Every structure is written in structure tokens, then in C-alpha cells.
């Protein structure tokens, strides 16, 4: 299992938040928790070999946000 934190300015807006949740419903293999006070999303992924980093960043981009990974990229995804 890996944990990943993503900062996405603007996520706290209600319409953006709903759109993001709808996007994440398409990825049931990923658990997430949203901190709307800080525009952060915490992810837990049991099988990171089945998920690519773009799978996590794309839902943000699709709704017009610019996501940034907080900290280091997990080793399994580093090239």
C-alpha cells in the first residue's frame, strides 16, 4: 500500500468538489479523503502497480485544477 497527498488549489469550491468526487467514482481501486480547508486530497492505494500517477492527476485536470504532489513520488512510480 502507498499513500499520496495532492494539493489542488480551488478544490474547496462546492461545484468543483462535486465534479472531483464524480471523477473519483470511476476509480474504485483508490481510496481518498478530502481536506477542503487546505485543498488537499489524501490517497491510499492498496495495489499501486495497477494505478499510474496520471490516473490520480487526471481527475483534477479534467475539472480545471492544477494538482501538485506533496512530498516525494512513491518509489514504485519513480523512473
Report the pLDDT value the prediction gives residue 28, as an integer from 0 to 100: 86
2, 30, 78 from 37: Cα distances, Å: 23, 22, 30
Please write the tens of the pLDDT for every residue from 20-78: 999 999 888 899 999 999 999 999 999 888 888 888 999 999 999 999 999 888 888 87
Spatial separation of the C-alpha atoms in residues 41 and 11, rounded to whole Å: 9
**Which grid coordinates are listed for 34?**
478530502
* In CATH, 2-77 is 3.40.50.300: no
**Which grid coordinates are listed for 22?**
464524480
| Owner of C-alpha cell 464524480 | 22
Report the pLDDT value the prediction gives residue 79, as an integer from 0 to 100: 65
Report the pLDDT value the prediction gives residue 37, as an integer from 0 to 100: 93
Report the pLDDT value the prediction gives residue 42, as an integer from 0 to 100: 96
Q: Where are the domains of the chain?
A: 2-77
Spatial separation of the C-alpha atoms in residues 47 and 24, rounded to whole Å: 16
Amino acid at each position: 500500500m502507498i499513500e499520496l497527498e495532492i494539493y489542488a488549489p480551488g478544490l474547496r469550491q462546492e461545484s468543483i468538489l462535486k465534479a472531483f468526487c464524480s471523477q473519483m467514482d470511476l476509480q474504485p481501486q483508490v481510496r481518498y479523503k478530502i481536506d477542503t480547508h487546505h485543498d488537499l486530497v489524501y490517497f491510499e492505494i492498496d495495489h499501486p502497480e495497477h494505478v499510474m500517477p496520471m490516473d490520480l492527476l487526471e481527475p483534477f485536470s479534467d475539472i480545471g485544477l492544477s494538482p501538485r504532489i506533496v512530498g516525494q513520488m512513491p518509489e514504485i512510480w519513480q523512473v
